Structure 1
Amino acid sequence: MSLEARRFLALHLPDFATDRMHRAESDLRFDEPLAIWVKEGPRRIVVAVNAAAAEAGLRPGQALADVQAIAPSLSLRPADFAGDARMLHRLALWARRFTPLAAVDPPDGLLLDITGCAHLLGGEAGLMQDALARLRRAGFAVRGAVAGAAATAGALARARSDAPIVVNGAEAVNVGPLPLGLALRLDADLALTLARLGMRRVGDLQALSRASLARRFGVELLHRLDAVTGQRREAMHPIQPLPELAVTQDLAEPVVTRAGIEAMLDRLLEALGDKLREAGRGARQVTLLAWRMDGEVQEVAVRAGQPTRTAAHLRYLFRDRLEGLEPGLGFERMALEARATDPMATGLQTVLA
């Protein structure tokens, strides 16, 4: 990572589990109550509700029998945490359209390192609004925030709905008013204990003796406090490592045909070859990424026995792999990533190709 000041975009999907269920089952209506439940010992507990169920007075944590009594027409589905995790991973892959450094923030969020990327969409506000709009069109409720610390952005996205953008160094001031349990992701028992002691906001903890807090509640509470106030940097774990070199192309019109895909691949191969030559390197592994109109991201990867950078050689490697792409309504964005490269002397390629 560079020593450049980092900037992070957090995307919080407050109704993720129910939104995913609506996407999976088209017969479920958004204006009808839906609840997702899990079995805890002998009890069945609600863990998520959609907006219609919330309006009817249902809340996570209620017993299944109670919510059925409140809303007899309620649709019920068992929790599918593995399915949720798979969808969150797919969304993180999709989010790589904005930055190569995208990560899941379980159970219902995404985290993007947008350092140096925002200018491509008119600044941080433009990038965030584009991401929010695309997710909403895909059927997800979503909130966002940008800050210089990942935990700060995440806390703001979970607690605020106004899409705040916080400049580096102002993290502590901006998280001070946030609800403590939500911002620090505290378990319900600890949040209740702190509330009974008069600590309901992040700022309430900031005003207290750190030694006293550590003695009474443990050092983990301080670690979480320091993370959201920007005093402690937490490692981000992107779903894909940063590619060594990459080129990207947004498409004015969706590409559907094999001929169109090949034409776009040719343009990307030429551009990637130029970058490889400038860097004095050859590619050992190259991945083609294609973003579909419906948000699905598809990948095709090739490997070379020796470092390569000529378009003709790489095109030959991709030739039979393109059959695996399924454009559906069309690809709206394509990229090539050189995920493994080696030093390569000028002129060597003519011997290998």
Structure 2
Amino acid sequence: MSATTAEERRERRESTPRKSGRKQRAVRHPDRRGRSPIFDAPTRTGLVVRYATLIAVLLISIGPMLWELSTSLKSKAEDVFTQNIHLLPQHPTLGNYGEVQRTIPVWHFAFNSLTVAAVNVTGNIVGATLAGYVLARLKFKGRKLLLGVFVSTLILPAEVTIISKFQMITNMGLGDTLLGVCLPDMIAMTNVLLMRNAFMAMPKEVEEAAIIDGANTLQRLRFVGLPAVKGTLSVISIFSFIGAWDDFLWPLLVLQTPDKLTLTVGLSYLDGQWSHDPRTIAAGTMIALIPILVLFMALQRFFFRGVSEGAIKG
């Protein structure tokens, strides 16, 4: 009995927590460090703050686009300068889009812009992919110096180099041509750095296995590198297309012939001496916005995957 009682007492002492004179510190969960009690708390107040923030950002982002769409659908009888703002048109009509076609050759300008955008997207995909792979995977003397030169070009704004670019294009005999508009932005340094980071995120073991199998540099790029950076290629495609499609200053400087104008420059004729209707201008703006929306909707699933490429090394 005594032995059994002693064992039971020992088990009771081990099972019961020891009391110490010092106060035990509360252990914070590592996942909850730095979190906001308002945004992250699963309470009604936290949810209200989240959704209110999202709605505010949504209104700031798409509010001007919705207003332009509403203005483009308003008839001539509606006053667009009134203090009483009406988002929904009272008498919706598509006549403003027909007025854009009668005022300027909008489809010809759109074809010119599409040509410039296609050349820029192709040049950036090919050039940025090759340059990014070389900087990320190939070893040669001066690689770090070359990378530093690429990064240093991002410091200068585009307005600083626009005069030198114009002189270069003019001396090459490419003034007043669509090729002269495309050439300076066919390989953007930002896209090169994006592709470099995407290729750097690839596991080295995969490429080493391809080398053991006898694959050369182009084969490794084609069969190993490109399938791993499809998302980044979509990001580059969207950014290059938007940059070329929305560019206004550079085509305005290079092009002088009306038949060679891009859409952004051609839309400026809607606000001229003989035409000054905000409904028509809004309709032309919406026509210029349609290709960007179509491209983004087609590549959105690759786009969001490409945003995270290069952030984590696998």
TM range (shorter): under 0.3
More strand by share: 1
TM-score (norm 2): 0.23
The structure number with the bigger radius of gyration is 2
More contact order relative to length (CA 8 Å, sep ≥ 6): 2
Higher share of residues assigned helix = 2
